[in-house]
Structure formats: structure tokens, C-alpha cells
Amino acid sequence: MRKTKITGRKRRAAGLAAALFLTALLASGCQGGKEKYAFRETGISQMDAGDYEGAIQSFEQALEHSDGFVGEFELDVLKYRAEAEYALADYAASAHTYDILVQADGERPEYLNRGCVMHALAGDTEAALACYEKAFAQAPEEEETKDALMALGDALEAEDRGEEALALYEQALAGGMESGALYSRMALCRMDAGDYEGALAYLEQGLAAGDAQARAELLYSQAVVYEHMLDFSSALRALETYEAEFGATPEIRKEIAFLKTR
């Protein structure tokens, strides 16, 4: 852990470099004292009560009453602050706090993955991508790395960058990240590109992987692909399997009734 000197902190502004804020976190480098612990505990209690704005203010006070260096206490407060900012849906602020943690405590997968998610939610896809690539290089099989990839993939696909998302999904599989949901994402990318054969191949691999959590999504997507391919009997079988295993919504029943007429 780096002992980084910090001096006075103003309210952050989105887009400014995290390194600049490492010298602007605390109002005085000499206050210290027990007050910082009291402010931290108050902030935690406020978070538990759902008062995230109040919690952020308390965490700011805890930092202002710190000793002027980023140590274990300050890192702990910053982590809580990032969680409160996320809970408040202030994704840009939370991303910025994770950037500060990276600057102060190194490029740990924990910070990089969570920062990736926050940057993606805030609409800064390039920053999310940079965080993810560093996290994947260190921890390709961690659950948080998968969560970061899913958030990044959403952002890329929303920007019509499905091919880039697909390349990341394929890289993740090659790196040992096994997930039925990942196969489903890859199939959707192929569907968007009009490659239904390719989409079906990914869905079949996903079903063969035996990921129970993703099975419903995979079966439904399989039915959609078959229907696009005008293979209505296979689409019907996929939906009937879905219904037998997971039950059916009115929409599923309506689709099954439709397919039986084809």
C-alpha cells in the first residue's frame, strides 16, 4: 500500500484526473484525532438507514479529520464512500472514487472491476474498457471480473460495438471464464449481426456447459433464433422445454400457441 500525501479536498468534478484529487482529499494534513472514527461510524449508520447523501457527507468529514496520508483508515472510508455513491446512483462519482483508490493503493482487481462497472454505468465506456483490461490481465476467472465484463459488454453493445464486445467475450472464454450467460451474450451479438447459425452454435455450447442459472435465458434465446431461421418446430421444442422446466408467462404461452399453428 502506498503512503500518499493528501492535503485539502473540494467536492469532486466529473472527468478530472484522480491523481489531482489525491492532493485535495483533506482540508488539513494535521487534524487527526478521534473525530474521524466517529464520522466514519456515523456514515456507516446512515448507509444502513438508506441516507446515502448524509453518509457521503460524513465520510467526507472523516477524511477531512484524517492525518493527511492515505492509509488503511482512509482507504476504508473511500470504499464506503464509493458504495454510498453507487447506492445513490451517482455512478460517475463512484467511478471517480475507485480511480482514487487505484491511484492510492495500486491497480487491484477489486478496484478495477468495480471501477469498470461504475464507468460503464456512467457512460464512460473507454474508461470502463481500460479498467477491465487491467483487471482481466490479473484475475480472469474471478466473479467480479465477469460482472465487470457484463457491464462493459452492455455499454459496448448499446453503442453498436457488438463486435468489440464479442471479441472480449471470446477472450474471456479462452482465459478460463466459463459462464452460460457469457455464451448467451455471444449469441446475441451474432444475432444482431444476422448470423443465426453462429448464434445457435453459441447457445448450444452454453446449454452443454450446464450453467443452471443461465439455462432459462439460453433456452428462450434458442427459441428466438430458431424462429428467425424459420425452424418453427425447433423453436416450439425449445419453448416447451422452457415451460416444462421454468413455467410459462402469458407471453410464453401465447408464443407456444402461435408456433403450434406454423
Compute mean pLDDT per 10 residues along the chain, 262 residues long, and list them.
36 44 49 83 98 98 86 96 98 98 97 98 98 97 95 96 95 90 93 94 93 94 96 96 94 95 92
pLDDT at 22: 55
* CATH architecture type of domain 181-262: Alpha Horseshoe (1.25)
Cα 66 from Cα 63, distance rounded (Å): 5
Contacts of 226 (CB under 8 A, 6+ apart): 200, 232, 234, 235, 238
pLDDT for position 67: 77
* Buried residues in 169-187 as b, exposed as e (16+ CB within 10 A): beebbeeebebbbbbbbbb
CB atoms < 10 A from the CB of 2, how many? 11
Do 72 and 36 contact (CB within 8 A), yes or no? no
Cα–Cα distance for residue pair 216/244, rounded to 1 Å: 11
pLDDT of amino acid 70: 83
Q: Is the pTM of this model over 0.85?
A: no
Residue tagged 457488438 (cell numbers): 162
Q: What is the pLDDT of residue 154?
A: 96
| Strand, coil or helix: 6 | coil
List beta partners, residue 47. Answer: none
What pLDDT is attached to residue 21?
A: 52
Which of 229, 226, 228 lies closest to 242 in space, CA to CA? Answer: 226
Listed in sequence order, the residues at least 6 apart from 18 whose beta carbon sits closer than 8 Å to its beta carbon are 96, 99, 100, 102, 103
Tell me what pLDDT residue 18 has: 52
CA distance 69 to 231: 65
Rounded to whole angstroms, the Cα distance separating 254 from 258 reads 6
Distance of CA 171 to the CA centre of its chain: 18
Torsion of CA 184, 120, 95, 85, to 10 degrees: -80
Amino acid letter, residue 161 = R
User: How much is the pLDDT for 7?
Assistant: 31
Residue 191: count of CB within 10 angstroms of its CB: 20
